Structure 1
Amino acid sequence: MALRLRCALVLLATLAASGCLPQRSIGHFADNGFYHTRDHYRVRYADGEASRGLVPGWDLVNFHHGEDGQPVQARSEPQWWSGYDLREYGVHRGRVTRAERWDLRFARGDDAIFSRTVPLKPSWASYDLPTLLRYAVHAIQARYAGAPDLLGTDEGMPGFVRVISEGDAVVDGRPARFITFDHQDRQSRQSARRVTLVAMRPGQHAWRVRRWRVPMLLVFGVVTEPGAHRESRADFEGLVSRVDVR
C-alpha cells in the first residue's frame, strides 16, 4: 500500500511538472503585491502594504474573498476558464491546454480592467508586437480562425471594429505595444465598447504544455463605454505602472 501511494504521488508530481494538469492557482497575494504563479510578473499594491488594493474603487471579481474582504482563492467555475488550441495548421496532435481566463479581473459597473497571460502558437514567436495586436484585433471583425485571444472571450466578439490609436508603450522599462479600438456587436443594439490593450513579452518565460514550451504574452486591458474610457484608463494605467516584470 505504501509503495502504491508513493508511486501515485510520483506520477502526480510528474504530471504537474510536465504541465498535464490544469493550473489551479493563478497566484498569491503577499505583503507587497500580487505574484503570478508562473513567476513572470507581480503587481504592487496601490497604496503600499497597508491597502492590499490593486485598483482602488474597483472590485476584484475572479477571486473569492474572505470575511476580511481580502482575496483568498481564484474562482473555479467553468466561466473563469479558457481553452487554448496551440496546434499549428495541419498538425492534429498536442499543444492543447486549459487555464484560468484572467490573472486578475476588476469590475466597476459594466466596465472591466484585467490582466491575462496568453499562450501562443510557436509560429507566432517570430511576429512582432504590432503585427500580433493588429491581427488579434482585426480577427474580431473578420473572424479569423485561430487568432490569439487577447480579450479572454473564447468564442470571440463578432462585430465591427474601429481602431482609434496604436503605438509603442513601456511596461517596467521593457518594450510593449498598445492599441485602442471601438467594438460594436453585430447582434446588439447597445452602444460600442472602447477597449485599450497593452501587450508585452515577459522576459525568457515560456508557457509549458506537457513536454512542450510555447511563447506567451502578458496582456493588460480596459473595457468601457467610450465616454468613460479616459477616467477608467487612468486607473488602468495606474495598475500597469505598478507591474514588475521578471
Structure 2
Amino acid sequence: MTSASAPEFLVVIPARLGSTRLPRKPLADIGGKPMVVRVAERAKQSLAKQVVVATDSAEILAACQAHQIECILTRDDHATGTDRIAEVAHLLKLPEQTLVVNVQGDEPAIPAELINQVALALASNPDCAISTVAVAISDPKEIANPNVVKVVLNRANHALYFSRAAIPFVRDPDASSQEGSGYLRHIGIYAYRAAFLHAYARLKPAPAEQAEALEQLRALWYGYQIAVHIAPETPPAGVDTPEDLERIRQTF
C-alpha cells in the first residue's frame, strides 16, 4: 500500500504494567529498549499519521518520553484496552470519522503493512464501526484450542460471530463439498471509528461477551458491524511468557 492510497489514521498502543504471566511486560528490555518503545517504533513504520502510547503508569510514560515516543497518561481503572483507547479518543477530541488502530503493547514484531491493511479495511467499509484481521487455519489442534479465537463471516467479509469454539461446526465432514466451511483464526488487531469509541464506555457488557470472554462480541450485540481483512499469512506471535520474550529478543 502506498501513502497515496492509504486512509488517514492514527495508532494507539494501550500499555499497563499489570501482567500475571510476565510482570512489568511493557518495560521488558528488547535489544536495549523497552518493549512498548519497540512496538511504537514498529507502528511508526506504518502509514499512521500519529502513534500514541496510552498508559496508566508513570514509569511507562517516562520510558516513552526518554525515547521520544508520544504517550498519554490515562485512568488506572480501565477494564480493557478498548476502554483505555476510548479515553484517548475523548482526550484528543477526535472527530467521529477518525480511524484509530489499536496495536497491542506486546506485539514488537507486528508487520507495519498489517497495521495499514486493518485501517484500509475499515476505510473501505463505511457501514462498519470496526475492522480486524483473520487468517485461515487447518490444524485440528488449533481449531479445537479454546485459546485460538475463531470467526465466521458473511459474504461481505463482515463478522457474524467470534468464538473460542470450533465454528462453523461441520456436521458432515465427508460431504463432497465443504465450500464456506473453512476455519478462520482471529488476529487481535483492530481499527475503530472514533464515533464507536465515544459510545463504547456507555455500552454494558453483553451476555455472549461474558460467556466467551471476548470483548468484540459487545460490538456485535449492540448492532455494530465489524469488517474482517483476511491476511495471507499469520503474523509473528506476541509476547505473553518469558519464553516468548527470549524468542523475540533473538530477532533484535
TM-score, normalized by length of structure 1?
0.28
Which of the pair is proportionally richer in helix? Answer: 2
Relative contact order (alpha carbons < 8 A, sep ≥ 6): 1 or 2 greater?
Answer: 2
Which of the pair is proportionally richer in strand? Answer: 1
